[in-house]
Amino acid sequence: MILSGESILERLSDGQIFRQGTWDAASIMEASFALRLANDGLLVKGEFYDPGVPYTGSYISIEPGEIAILSTIERLNMPADLLGKIGLRLDAALKGLVGLMGIQVDPLYGQDQDDERLYIRVANFGNETVKFLPREHVFTFELHEVVGGVQPPSPPKLSTWPRLKQQLASQDASSWSYVTRVRSETVQAEQRVRSELTNIRDYLQPLVMFGIFLVAVTILGVAIAVIVSVRDTPEAAVPSWVTGWGWILLMCTLTMATAATAAIGGFTVWRLAKGR
C-alpha cells in the first residue's frame, strides 16, 4: 500500500522517513514526497563535491551524454515497516534526464547513520544541457508499507557516499557515458566530412571559374568577329533582311551579347583574383 500525503505527514511528524529539520512540508504531494536537490554530495563534470563541500556554480549543469551523481537535502530515517521508491519528476524527465540507479530504498535505511541521504546517478540523454538550481524538486519518493518483520543488516553497511566513490574510482571517465562517446565520434566525423567538402569546393571553384572565363572569352571573340565581318562585308553581299530595322536589331543583339559576355568574364577574373 502506498502512503498518502496525509499519512506521510504523520510519519514525518513522528521523526520517521526523514530526520527532523531536513524535510519541508511543502514537498508533500498527494501520494509521494518531492525530494530537493542538495548543492553538495555531487559528481558533476567529473569532479566530486563531498558532503559538506558546496558546489560553486550557480546552476548544477549536466551536459548532453554526461553522467552525474545528485543527492538530496533530506536525510533518511526509514522505519522498519516502510520502503521507498525513487523516481524522476516529470519536468526533469522531459529535459532528457534518465536515472541510472536502483529505485528501492530499503527499510531502516539511514537509521545507523546520522547524515545519510539519497544519492542518485543520472544521465542526460537529451540534446540540450540540463540545469538545476540547488533546492529544486528533482526526484519523487513513494512510500510503501512492508508486511512482516525486517531485521537490520549485519554487519551495518557503510555510508553510501564512500561506497560510491570507491566503486567509481575504478571507472574511466565516470562522468561520461557511451552515448557521449558515440555522439563525440559522430560530431568529429561530421566535421571531417565538412572539411573535405570545403577542400573539394576550394579546389574545384577556380577550375570552374576559369572554364567560365574561357567560354566567355570565346563568345566575346566570336561576337566581335561577327560585328567586324558584317561591317567589312560589301553591300551587295549583305542579305536582303540585314537592312533597316533588321540591321539595327542585329547590331543591338550582338552589342548586348558582347557586353554580357564581357561582364561575365570580368566577374570571373575578379572572383579568381579574390580567391587567392
List alpha helices for 16-170, DSSP H: 90-94, 160-168
237, three cell numbers: 553581299
H/E stretch holding 99: strand 97-99
Q: How is residue 98 annotated by DSSP?
A: E
> 42 and 171 share a domain?
yes
Q: 125, 160, 176: which is the final residue of a domain? A: 176
The last residue of a domain, from among 158, 176, 194: 176
Q: What is the mean pLDDT of residues 11-23?
A: 95
For residues 76-92, average pLDDT: 94
Whether 131 and 57 have beta carbons less than 8 Å apart is answered as no
Q: Give the CATH number of the domain where residue 65 resides.
A: 2.70.40.10
Same domain, 43 and 147: yes
Tens-place pLDDT, residues 235-272? 555 555 555 566 667 667 767 777 777 776 677 667 66
pLDDT over 70 (residue 190): yes
Residue 182 lies in a domain: no
In a domain, 183, yes or no: no
Same domain for 20 and 134?
A: yes
User: Cα(212)–Cα(235) distance, rounded to whole angstroms?
Assistant: 36
Strands 82-88 and 42-44: unpaired
Q: What is the pLDDT of residues 112-159, one digit of tens each?
A: 888 899 999 999 988 899 999 999 999 999 999 999 878 887 777 788
Q: Is the pLDDT of residue 41 over 90?
A: yes
Same domain, 256 and 149: no
**148 and 243, same domain (yes or no):** no
* Residues 18 and 142 grouped into a single domain: yes
Cell numbers of 47, please?
569532479
Q: Do 157 and 261 fall into the same domain? A: no
Say yes or no: 160 and 251 in one domain. Answer: no
CA 186 – CA 225 distance, rounded (Å):
58
| Cβ-based burial of 200 (10 A; exposed 0-12, middle 13-18, buried ≥19) | exposed
DSSP string covering 160-173, please?
HHHHHHHHHTTSTT
Find cell 570565346 and name the residue: 218
- Same domain membership, residue 217 and residue 135: no
Owning domain of residue 251: 204-275
Distance, in Å, from the CA atom of 72 to the CA atom of 58, rounded to the nearest integer, reads 17
Same domain, residue pair 65 and 149:
yes
CA 92 to chain centre: 15
Task: Please check the confidence at residue 19 and state whether its pLDDT lies above 90.
Answer: yes
**Averaged pLDDT, 226-240:** 59
Answer yes or no: do 18 and 79 share one domain. Answer: yes
**Nearest Cα to 113, choosing from 143, 68, 156?**
156
